Amino acid sequence: MTSTRVLFAAAFVMLFWQLMCPPVIGVANNGDFSRTYGIFHLTMPIPDEVRFSDTHYQFDPQLNYFGGFYSSEIALVPPALALNAIFSKDGTFDVRFTGFIHGVLFLTALCLFLPLLRDLPVFQRWLTGGLAVFFFGDVMYVAYLNSFYTDVAAYVFLLLTVVLALRAIRWGKRLDWILFTVASLFLVTSKAQHAALGLWIAGFVWLIARKQARWMAAVIALVSVGWLAESTPAAYSARGCFSTIFFHLLPHSPNQDKTLADLGLDQSYRPYIGMVSFSPGSPMDDSRFVAEFRKRITYGSLAVFLLTHPRDTYVAVRSSLDDAGRQRPPLGNFDPSAGLAPGAQSQAFAFWSNFKRMLFNRRGSRYLTYFFCVMATMALLLFVQRRSLPAGGMAGGFILIGMAATELAVSSLADAMEIARHHLLFYAHFDMLLILGVWLLGRLVSYSTK
């Protein structure tokens, strides 16, 4: 169909223009890239890694780093290396081959999504598909594809998981279910912070799949729990807890002494208020302090505190969304060879992210209110149309809402550092809910006019 070809071509051009054509864009390294490429002997210039998104990386056989972080993003590096080995002329690694692998996965998700729109009225088909291309073709998402962040695997496999779930609901084909399971496993194994999404996905499979296929739910749930517990170094969770407590909770507490006591901490922890775990003077590099802190605080005990202190939880989420409202992390998008200022960010295809930034930057309360309104509207539309939706459609919609709320909680409350980058999957869920809302409203209007 014309709409399918045009929308796919538009997405292809948006990706190719941003990822492949000079000046190439990416997202600068905050220090995390080595978690992904370290075992492949790759390295990059350290002094400018935050200010510039380097296009070329060096191979150094003497460097081999593994920091104890496991991610499905690591599995995407070898195909990029293989392509680079074929086309590289100077022996360096060109990050555009990573962008190519990520871009193929993104375009695959779009290619699988567009056929779902074929039965819609022409205007609704163009509107729904056009919004998907417009939202996810924005630089706030595309720039990440030319990077090694583990969140990138989470993002592209989230898109594939949701699209394949829609296809499974719509047509129930065995191949869609198999590919859905594979994509969801790559999603939950991308990063410990996103592993909790697997529990929602497992619930979806249990509710929607045939009885003989429910083993997939058990597999996804077990992998999610295991990844959440074992995919990072033992002390990594302590850093996240420290940052959340001392940067997001205590600075906004009206009674810091009581908050410390409720958390199980004494007055000796007062000097750390306002710090994140990597702040100058942070005690998190002291193994003895970390060992003692881990005895007092875990993500489980922090979750209990947040559930029993709703005021503190609200303030922490609002504070996090103040920063998340910027939509894009303060990391450079360009290689030094582009001749642009350090930290310069691309404004090509940035209308959607700039619009959201105008609405939400430093306005956490507004952001949270809008999100709750979107969730409530989606829930109402799903309930009203429950009898006309495909079997499993309402359950799938509510599970997507639950996944979005989970990502908000994890992004805002499990870590207080690099907030805009850590909210990437929350942004994607938010935009998916908007597209779902447009589709549901279109259905409602179509049925009311018949």
- Of the chain, the end-to-end C-alpha distance in Å amounts to 25
Structural domain spans, the chain: 2-232+340-448
The partner residues of 42 in beta bridges, in order of sequence, read 59
Preceding peptide of 390 cis, ω within 30°: no
- Please answer whether residues 249 and 213 qualify as being in contact, where contact means their C-beta atoms are separated by less than 8 angstroms: no
Measured CA distances, 114 to 2, 8, 96, 108 (Å) = 11, 8, 26, 10
Q: How far apart (Å, rounded) are the C-alpha atoms in residues 159 and 109? A: 6
21 CB contacts (<8 Å, ≥6 apart)?
none
In this structure, which amino acid lies at residue 178?
Answer: I
Residue-by-residue pLDDT tens, the chain, 450 positions = 688 999 999 999 999 999 999 999 999 998 899 999 999 999 877 677 889 999 999 998 888 889 899 999 999 999 999 999 999 888 899 999 999 999 999 999 999 999 999 989 999 999 999 999 999 999 999 999 999 999 999 999 999 999 999 999 999 899 999 999 999 999 999 999 999 999 999 999 999 987 767 889 999 999 999 999 899 998 888 999 999 999 999 999 999 999 999 999 999 999 999 999 989 999 999 999 999 999 999 999 999 999 999 999 999 999 999 999 999 999 999 999 999 999 999 999 999 999 999 999 999 999 999 999 999 999 999 999 999 999 899 999 999 999 999 999 999 998 767 899 999 999 999 999 999 999 999 988 876 665
412: left (phi over 0), alpha (psi -120 to 50) or beta: alpha
Q: How far apart (Å, rounded) are the C-alpha atoms in residues 206 and 392? A: 11
pLDDT given at position 447: 67
211 C-beta neighbours (distance < 10 Å), count: 7
Hey, what are 170's tokens? 């719509």
